[in-house]
């Protein structure tokens, strides 16, 4: 058997129409209806026709969680299961659900509150740097207050996060092929998220995390664990901590993974993994037609 990891993308991968080809599947439609009862708004309506809302954190994150988890459930119904799971930022919640750490509805309640808190934490800035000098970047960040490496995505692509002044200062000092300001509501995965993270931690304390049935690679500590308490502690740090995706990509072959399936819209994660661990077999499940038999 080919050892397989399932990975789940986060905010930025959403696209209009995602998941809408699942509506003819009764179990999927049931999940969309359950989501509407929990959220108070319709994922279907927003994914079908409201691109502006779909780009807003408070709607983006729950919509991705719902769509990605439905695809994962359909794959499991067809007899497929992963040997390892991981998710990029928001995607980690889907990974934890698939690993049996919490029930689907609990995960959606957590994602809903996370999205609301992150949406309200305005004032910061994020930017992507592509094809840069890593040593220079690390040196400049160390010398610049109020900016951190938020997403270490691959050897050639990172995201920095912090105050607008500090992010722009790093962008101007570090030589990069491209430096792109991102349209986010705040400085995600940075210390500027600390007030939101503290409030979210109070919510997490009341949620029991079960031992995982599948090892999970976490964003802030990219080493496999099935310990529910460890996975909760790692999730606690996620809102202010760095997404160490480059290291997750390296951990996949180190844990004998041969194949990776990215479940959700787009192909961002398989693209990043290919740059870091090029020998892995990479597949995508972005729509119903790509579901394995």
> Where in the sequence numbering do the catalytic residues fall?
89, 189
For residues 69 and 98, the answer to whether their CB atoms sit within 8 Å is yes
158 in helix, strand or coil?
A: strand
Q: Where are the alpha helices (DSSP H) in 227-267?
A: 228-238, 245-254
Residue 187 class from Cβ within 10 Å (0-12 exposed, 13-18 middle, 19+ buried)?
buried
Alpha carbon distance 34, 284 (integer Å): 26
- 3-state secondary structure string across 168-198: HHHHHHCCEEEEEEECCCCCCCCHHHHHHHH
| Phi, psi torsion values for 56, nearest 5 degrees | -90, 130
224 in helix, strand or coil?
A: coil
Q: For the chain, how big is the Rg over CA atoms in Å?
A: 18
Q: Concatenated DSSP letters for 33-79?
A: HHHHHHHSS-HHHHHHH-HHHHTSHHHHHHHHHHHHHHHHHHHHHTT
Please say whether the dihedral angle defined by the alpha carbons of residues 150, 153, 155 and 159, taken in this order, is positive or negative. negative
For residues 120 and 196, the answer to whether their CB atoms sit within 8 Å is yes
Alpha carbon distance 267, 233 (integer Å): 29
């Amino acid at each position: 058997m080919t050892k397989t990891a399932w990975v789940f993308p986060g905010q930025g991968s959403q696209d209009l129409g995602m998941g809408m080809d699942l509506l003819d599947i009764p179990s999927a439609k049931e999940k969309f209806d359950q989501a509407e009862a929990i959220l108070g708004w319709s994922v279907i309506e927003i994914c079908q026709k409201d691109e502006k809302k779909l780009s807003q954190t408070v709607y983006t994150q729950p919509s991705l969680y719902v769509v990605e988890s439905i695809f994962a459930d359909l794959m499991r119904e067809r007899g497929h299961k992963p040997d390892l799971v991981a998710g990029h930022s928001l995607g980690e919640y889907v990974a934890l659900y698939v690993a049996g750490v919490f029930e689907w509805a609990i995960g959606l309640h957590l994602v809903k509150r996370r999205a609301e808190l992150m949406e309200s934490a305005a004032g910061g800035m994020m930017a992507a740097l592509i094809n840069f000098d890593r040593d220079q970047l690390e040196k400049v960040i160390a010398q610049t207050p109020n900016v951190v490496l938020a997403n270490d995505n691959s050897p050639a692509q990172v995201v920095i996060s912090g105050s607008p002044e500090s992010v722009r200062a790093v962008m101007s000092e570090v030589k990069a092929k491209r430096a792109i300001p991102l349209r986010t509501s705040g400085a995600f995965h940075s210390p500027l998220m600390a007030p939101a993270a503290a409030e979210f931690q109070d919510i997490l304390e009341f949620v029991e995390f079960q031992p995982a049935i599948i090892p999970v690679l976490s964003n802030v500590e990219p080493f496999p664990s099935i310990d529910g308490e460890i996975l909760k502690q790692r999730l606690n740090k996620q809102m202010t901590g760095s997404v160490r995706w480059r290291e997750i990509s390296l951990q996949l072959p180190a844990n004998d993974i041969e194949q990776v399936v990215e479940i959700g819209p787009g192909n961002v994660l398989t693209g990043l993994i290919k740059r870091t661990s090029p020998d892995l077999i990479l597949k995508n499940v972005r729509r119903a037609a790509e579901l394995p038999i």
